[in-house]
Amino acid sequence: MSHISVLLHETVDALLAERNTGIYVDGTFGRGGHTRLLLSKLDENSRVYAFDKDPQALEVAYQLEKEDPRFKIIHASFADLKAEINGLGLDKVDGIMADLGVSSPQLDQAERGFSFMKDGPLDMRMDNSQGQTAAEWLVDVDEEHLANVIFQYGEERYSRRIARAIKQAGYIETTAQLAEIVKVAHPKWEKNKHAATRTFQAIRIEINKELDDVHSFLPQATDLLKSGGRLAVISFHSLEDRIIKQFIQKESTLAEDNGWGLPQKVEDTRRLKKIDRIRASEAEVKENPRSRSAWLRVAERLTAKGE
């Protein structure tokens, strides 16, 4: 399957808010769908900086750099957002977007080891030029920690049973081997869902520190935004969406009590205003089933008192 950018127009339109100039950041370049549309709507004085860890995504990005002088790719995680952008001599930007999780090309290439649907080496690294593979991590991790990862990041109720089976299997070389181990260990399959779905998601999140990166990214993005600048983030599962929702809620809510239920005078330190929560249309879901679980959350930067 070729890569189809999810919530493409909705994300770029929300980010720009009818502007056509400025400095923008794409925290997850992928194959550049959102970035290319953004560039097409910006004037010649604008700049777009994008982040990605995946060497294959970087190849596409380097080509775009040659085609459009307004664009620059940064080989780093968006968890390093503020340091990288400040390192370019920039203190503030007009908008930041991110499309979280694994991309279609990563899922579709068996050799990347993300999917149980295609047999390949058990890798799962978004940046496959460094770090432990999933196969190596499964050898090193103890059973209790593995069970906790599968439970927390996969929301898998049979995590302990599955973790025990994985550790008893010894070295697991391929995605098909892991999927079969989980399938056999799983006592109750969900309708229309492979038994290994939640376990694969959990291991992938752990290997790439995906939720840690989101926790790190959101406050940095808020710090970097100019007043009136937009933050637009797409998530694909409840764990990511919950983090984004709670962060925006916290940054856009004025405290009204002192914890004892008594009113108190508080300083207005709100930094964000909630703008929208958008999901893929029926037409998009029909064209691209992977958009079914996607949510786009949009917030706008306020100027907090004292800033």
Residues making up the binding site for S-adenosyl-L-methionine: 32-34, 52, 78, 99, 106
Distance from C-alpha of 149 to C-alpha of 103, rounded to nearest angstrom: 22
Encoded tokens for 36: 């290319």
Report phi then psi at 200, rounded to 5: -65, -40
Distance of CA 26 to the CA centre of its chain: 11
CA distances (Å), 146 to each of 68, 135, 238, 244, 271, in order? Answer: 45, 13, 20, 25, 37
Binding residues: 32-34, 52, 78, 99, 106
Are 234 and 296 a contacting pair, CB within 8 Å? yes
Q: Which of 211, 216, 210 is nearest to 81 (CA)?
A: 216
**Dihedral, 152, 244, 212, 115 alpha carbons, nearest 10:** 60
